Amino acid sequence: MAVEGDAVGADPRWRIHSTLARSAANGPGLRFVVWSQGCSLRCPGCFNPDTHPPHGAGLRRVSDVVDDVLRTDGVQGVTLTGGEPLEQPDAVGAFCAAIRRRTDLGIIVLTGFSRAEVEGDARRAAAVADADLVVAGRYNARLRLGAGLRGSSNKEYWALTGRYGAADLAGVPEAELVIGADGTITLTGMHGWEGGPR
């Protein structure tokens, strides 16, 4: 079941569960993280069931999310996770293209689709064309790993550029606690509630 947001011209709408401006546990360095809302893949043992419904979260213009990234100082990259980002391929593709065009930030996409499923679908393939790295494949609870941006060991690193190597990924912390200005506490990373495991 696709959960595509409302595509509007070159500035698609993107159904987003949440964002985090500065995360140290969702890829190398400090990163702006976007959790897409909606996933139909239903991996047994997924820690993020709140991200599965295709509705019930905010619908945002891609350009507004890009502006949020541009206003965030000190980040070295963006990470797209979910939910399933590639069930909203037009929004993800437009976002990645804008980040590539307007910044030198690294781009990582975490998806439950396999590399073959991405390459075999023109819209999904286009969505990751500007990414540096895709971490691809269903989460398999029997192969639980929770390290290096892989929730389970079957997940495949698919490097589209040479920006991120094995050492960069091995150094990603497994979890972090983020305390917001309003006192909210978010546990994120491969061992956190948000973004893990995938």
Quote the crossing angle between the two packed helices 62-70 and 89-102, to the nearest 10°: 30
Question: 12: which residues sit within 8 A by CB, 6+ positions away?
Answer: 5, 6, 61, 62, 88, 90, 91, 94
Residue 112 interacts with ligand SF4 (CB under 6 A)? yes
- Judged by beta carbon, residue 16 or residue 43, the one nearer ligand SF4 is 43
Pick the piece of the chain touching ligand SF4 (CB under 6 A) from 2-10, 57-65, 79-87, 171-179.
79-87
For 36-51, b/e burial (b = at least 16 CB within 10 A) is bbbbebebeebbbeeb
Residue 198 interacts with ligand SF4 (CB under 6 A)? yes
Q: Which of 25, 34, 41, 128 binds ligand SF4 (CB under 6 A)?
A: 41
- Residue 193: CB atoms within 10 A of its CB come to 13
Q: Which of 16, 34, 46, 92 binds ligand SF4 (CB under 6 A)?
A: 46
- Judged by beta carbon, residue 32 or residue 139, the one nearer ligand SF4 is 139
Question: DSSP class of residue 13?
Answer: E
Q: Considering the complex, what minimum distance in angstroms separates the CB of residue 3 from ligand SF4?
A: 11
Q: Which of 18, 75, 84, 127 binds ligand SF4 (CB under 6 A)?
A: 84
Q: Which residues bind ligand SF4 (CB under 6 A)?
A: 39, 41-43, 46, 48, 51, 82-84, 112, 138-139, 198
